[in-house]
């Protein structure tokens, strides 16, 4: 493989910010992906694994190492005797394409994850979730490269340390490279809708079932109204999705917040709404640091920090720092960024 000339990462991220890459290599099969990662490691060259660029904020200085553009493909289906299907997917497959195909077949388990941009390989890293579903609920195993041993292994879901927007792959990003996932779906044509907002959109009660096609349609409609479906000519959708995770607090901290702050039970504590905290820290729709600022909170969703057209990574970071500062000052809660930050940090200037 021959590296391509340096190119701007802004062209490959949904925030449309980021400086140049040192080298750029496109890999189209697992063998090439493994070989390139191990080559970079042996040479001491930093490697950035790039999927859809939808959960990524790259510094204006760019990335000095090698960007490995993961464009692997493959989707294999095994029908199981109990009415389920096992689907094995390459990391470079488009996630929403897979959801669309699953819904077309009447397979349930990921229909509420419709409209999420990016590629399959990112889904276990973030434990992608929305509207009552997390990808960890359907993952059977994740095929990974262990950069320490050089071995390729199929890691069972029980070893992946899945949590809220987290996994072993996110905690140890320098060790694991996701090559693909195996998920198990139900060939039932319907799925249980647990998320109240989604149930209201469908006109049903929570904890009742609905056709997967109807669920997908409702989710896409909700996401579009919130500016969470990327539209090429609409800067209010140029974002990394939710920029902050919903904080998980202990009971005392959660109960110290105003009574109207939404709270949700969680295995790790009490989850509270980051969007509510932002909105009630005097940062409403379209909030920006000044009238001419090119980075702003979306007019449709408080968690999305958007590029109005010519923002830099520094602009996005300045806005994110101010959002975090105001929420902490008002409520004593420190927001955690959800996207991967490359060459930058909210803690540094």
Average pLDDT taken over every residue of the chain: 96
Task: Respond yes or no: is residue 242 known to be catalytic.
Answer: yes
pLDDT at 349 over 60: no
Task: Respond yes or no: is residue 338 known to be catalytic.
Answer: yes
Catalytic residue of the set 140, 190, 322, 338: 338
Sheet holding 152-156, edge to edge: 75-79, 84-90, 176-186, 139-146, 152-156
Task: Respond yes or no: is residue 256 known to be catalytic.
Answer: no
Residue-wise pLDDT tens digits, 30-57: 999 999 999 999 999 999 999 999 999 9
Q: What's the CA gap between 29 and 93, in Å, rounded?
A: 11
- Predicted local distance difference test score (pLDDT) of residue 3: 58
- Predicted local distance difference test score (pLDDT) of residue 266: 85
- Predicted local distance difference test score (pLDDT) of residue 2: 54
Show the domains of the chain with their CATH numbers: 9-70 (3.30.43.10), 75-225 (3.30.465.10), 235-342 (3.90.78.10)
Q: What is the mean pLDDT of residues 206-230?
A: 97
Residue-wise pLDDT tens digits, 267-284: 889 999 999 999 999 998
Residue-wise pLDDT tens digits, 255-269: 999 999 999 888 889
Please say whether the beta carbons of 107 and 212 come within 8 A: yes
Q: What's the CA gap between 193 and 206, in Å, rounded?
A: 6
Q: What is the DSSP string of 262-328?
A: -EEEETTEEEE-HHHHHHTTT--TT-BSSTT-SEEE-SS-TT-EEE-SS--HHHHHHHHHHHHHHHH
- Number of H helices and E strands in the chain, helices first, is 9, 19
Residue-wise pLDDT tens digits, 171-209: 999 999 999 999 999 999 999 999 999 999 999 999 999
Q: Which helix (H) or strand (E) holds 48?
A: strand 47-50
Residue-wise pLDDT tens digits, 120-131: 999 999 999 999
Q: Give the model's confidence band at 4: pLDDT under 50 very low, under 70 low, under 90 confident, else very high.
A: low
Q: Give the model's confidence band at 1: pLDDT under 50 very low, under 70 low, under 90 confident, else very high.
A: low
Question: Environment class of residue 107 by beta-carbon count within 10 Å: exposed (0-12), middle (13-18) or buried (19+)?
Answer: buried
User: Given the DSSP bridges, would you call strands 21-27 and 63-70 parallel, antiparallel or unpaired?
Assistant: parallel
Please say whether the beta carbons of 274 and 245 come within 8 A: yes
How many CB atoms neighbour CB 113 within 10 A? 25
Catalytic residue of the set 165, 216, 223, 326: 165
pTM of the model: 0.93
The single-letter DSSP state of residue 80 is -
Catalytic residue of the set 71, 242, 273, 298: 242
Q: Which helix (H) or strand (E) holds 253?
A: helix 251-255
- Predicted local distance difference test score (pLDDT) of residue 12: 95
Q: Give the model's confidence band at 6: pLDDT under 50 very low, under 70 low, under 90 confident, else very high.
A: low
**Phi then psi dihedrals of residue 245, to 5 deg:** -80, 160
């Amino acid at each position: 493989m021959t590296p391509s000339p340096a190119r701007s990462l802004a062209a490959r991220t949904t925030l449309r910010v980021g400086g140049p890459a040192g080298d750029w290599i496109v890999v189209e099969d697992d063998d090439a992906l493994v070989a390139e990662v191990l080559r970079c490691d042996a040479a001491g060259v930093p490697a950035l694994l790039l999927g859809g660029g939808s959960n990524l904020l790259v510094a204006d200085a760019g990335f000095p190492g090698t960007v490995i553009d993961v464009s692997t493909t493959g989707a294999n289906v095994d029908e199981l005797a109990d009415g389920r299907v096992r689907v094995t997917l390459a990391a470079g497959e488009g996630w929403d394409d897979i959801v669309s195909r699953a819904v077309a077949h009447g397979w349930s388990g990921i229909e509420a994850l419709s409209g999420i941009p990016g590629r399959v390989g990112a889904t276990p890293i973030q434990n992608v979730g929305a509207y009552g579903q997390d990808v960890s609920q359907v993952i059977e195993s994740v095929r990974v490269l262990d950069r320490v041993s050089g071995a390729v292994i199929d890691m069972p879901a029980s070893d992946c340390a899945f949590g809220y927007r987290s996994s072993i792959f996110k905690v140890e990003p320098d060790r694991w490279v996701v090559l693909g996932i195996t998920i198990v779906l139900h060939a039932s044509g319907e799925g249980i809708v647990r998320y109240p907002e989604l149930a209201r959109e469908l006109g049903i009660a929570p904890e009742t079932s609905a056709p997967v096609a109807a669920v997908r349609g409702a989710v896409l409609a909700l996401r579009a109204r919130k500016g969470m479906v990327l539209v090429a000519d609409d800067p209010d959708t140029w974002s990394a999705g939710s920029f902050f995770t919903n904080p998980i607090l202990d009971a005392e901290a959660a109960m110290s917040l105003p009574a109207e702050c939404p709270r949700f039970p969680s295995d790790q504590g009490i989850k509270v709404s980051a969007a509510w905290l932002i909105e009630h820290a005097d940062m409403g729709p379209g909030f920006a640091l000044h009238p001419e600022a090119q980075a702003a909170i979306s007019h449709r969703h408080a968690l999305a920090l958007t590029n109005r057209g010519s923002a830099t990574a520094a602009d996005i970071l300045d806005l994110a720092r101010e959002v975090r500062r105001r929420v902490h000052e008002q409520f004593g809660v420190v927001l955690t960024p959800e996207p991967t930050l490359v060459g930058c940090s909210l803690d540094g200037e």
